[in-house]
């Protein structure tokens, strides 16, 4: 089986994909060879007053935005609905209301134009983005270690092939992105918190405050950020947050970001020890856009003689290009096994969808993967 993305066989192409698992409404059209024909992402603003995503607001916003967004992407690609070869959508894990809206819209479109519908696992889409042609010179050959860091996920995953994943470790409390959001709220910054904390951290001293590094040095590659978040709150307790001195806020932001980078770097070193056959290190998810974290990960990979890959910033956060590419990889894998193109029209969206379930779609009939 090819370790790199193979030349596209005769697959349904192009793929129109929809992403609606959280607060980004996205649509993209991608050809079987990875050419991005058109893409668009709308980030919802209705959650800002709440300092986090409100599921009901997100679902309603997806419902209102999708028809016009899909029309716009089709227009920019110079296509009509009947010109697409397949339709895909994130079907989990994520906020169930948004997943239902996006998946049902995509299923309706697939039925209307008589095309197969591919259900995509949102985490698998992040896992395979580095293999999109043009992101890495060698196409991110299997196996590689994936660090998925976002608002809802923080995991180390051994990516051994399409549909073949091993979870090496993950967060036991908050995800890294969630910790960034909560610290940003403590500091009176905007939401989402990651970019705001990173911008403020550039103006501060990362050694200004002594903060803990939970689980650092421990065996395995699990993560914990709850204690770090609490420590930031304790450092802020003596101050009037309405008039927090800039140097204090910047120093806390820089110290927090450094602590997160130290924790992640330590956990990745352990994960690479657990995966000696890794041929690369890949980062994905919204927090992978953090430049300080990328620099640390690049250094770790170089020290081990491994390539480091991360999607461009626009493809780190939730997007539909990764959903389309995951569908293409799924169809390619099925073709390589002489299996029919999947048609998941009967699959229901689900808030939880373990990657371990993905191997089953390539199991021969009557065989449990």
Does 152 appear as a known binding residue? yes
Does 190 appear as a known binding residue? no
Question: Residue 48: is it exposed, middle or buried by C-beta count within 10 angstroms (0-12/13-18/19+)?
Answer: exposed
Does 321 appear as a known binding residue? no
Does 150 appear as a known binding residue? yes
Does 181 appear as a known binding residue? yes
Beta pairing class for 144-149 and 281-284:
parallel
Q: Return the C-alpha torsion angle 129, 135, 137, 140, nearest 10.
A: -10
Does 148 appear as a known binding residue? yes
Closest CA to 8 of 358, 320, 325: 325
Contacts of 195 (CB under 8 A, 6+ apart): 289
CA distances from 283 to 52, 251, 258 (A): 24, 26, 18
Q: How far apart are CA 161 and CA 355, in angstroms?
A: 12
Does 290 appear as a known binding residue? yes
Does 270 appear as a known binding residue? no
SS3 content of the chain, % helix, strand, coil (to 5): 45, 15, 40
Query: Could you tell me which residues are beta bridge partners of residue 121?
Result: 92
Q: How far apart are CA 321 and CA 342, in angstroms?
A: 19
Q: How far apart are CA 146 and CA 211, in angstroms?
A: 27
Query: Could you tell me which residues are beta bridge partners of residue 163?
Result: none
Answer for the pair 278, 166: CB distance below 8 angstroms, yes or no: no
Does 246 appear as a known binding residue? no
Q: Would you say how long the chain is, in residues?
A: 369
Does 47 appear as a known binding residue? no
Q: How far apart are CA 298 and CA 310, in angstroms?
A: 10
Q: Which residues are annotated as a binding site?
A: 122, 126, 148-152, 181, 194, 198, 290, 318
Q: Which residues are annotated as a binding site for substrate?
A: 148-152, 181, 194, 198, 290
Q: Which residues are annotated as a binding site for Fe cation?
A: 122, 126, 318
């Amino acid at each position: 089986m090819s370790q790199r993305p193979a030349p596209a066989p005769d697959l349904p192409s192009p793929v129109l994909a929809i992403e609606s698992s959280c607060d980004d409404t996205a649509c993209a059209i991608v050809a079987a060879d990875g050419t991005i024909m058109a893409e668009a992402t709308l980030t919802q603003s209705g959650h800002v007053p709440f300092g986090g995503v409100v599921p009901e607001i997100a679902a309603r916003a997806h419902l209102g935005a999708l028809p016009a967004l899909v029309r716009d992407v089709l227009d920019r690609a110079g296509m009509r609905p009947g010109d697409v070869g397949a339709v895909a959508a994130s079907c989990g894990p994520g906020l169930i209301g948004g997943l239902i809206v996006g998946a049902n819209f995509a299923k309706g479109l697939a039925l209307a134009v008589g095309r197969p519908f591919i259900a995509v696992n949102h985490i698998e889409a992040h896992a395979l983005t580095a293999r999109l042609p043009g992101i890495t010179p060698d196409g991110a050959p299997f196996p590689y270690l994936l660090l998925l860091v976002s608002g809802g996920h923080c995991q180390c995953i051994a990516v051994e092939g399409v549909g073949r994943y091993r979870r090496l470790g993950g967060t036991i409390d908050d995800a890294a992105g969630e910790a960034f959001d909560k610290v940003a709220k403590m500091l009176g910054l905007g939401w989402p918190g990651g970019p705001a904390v990173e911008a403020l951290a550039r103006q501060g001293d990362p050694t200004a405050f002594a903060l803990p590094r939970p689980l650092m040095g421990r065996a395995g590659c699990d993560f914990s950020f709850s204690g770090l978040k609490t420590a930031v709150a304790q450092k802020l307790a003596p101050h009037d947050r309405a008039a927090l001195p800039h140097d204090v806020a910047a120093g806390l932001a820089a110290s927090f970001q450094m602590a997160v980078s130290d924790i992640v770097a330590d956990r990745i070193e352990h994960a690479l020890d657990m995966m000696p056959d890794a041929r690369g290190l890949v980062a994905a998810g919204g927090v992978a856009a953090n430049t300080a974290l990328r620099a640390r990960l690049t250094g770790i990979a170089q020290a081990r003689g491994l390539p480091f890959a991360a999607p461009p910033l626009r493809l780190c956060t939730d997007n539909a290009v990764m959903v389309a590419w995951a569908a293409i990889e799924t169809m390619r894998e099925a073709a390589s096994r002489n299996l029919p193109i999947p048609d998941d029209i009967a699959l229901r969206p689900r808030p939880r969808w373990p990657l371990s379930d993905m191997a089953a779609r390539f199991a021969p009939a009557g065989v449990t993967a």
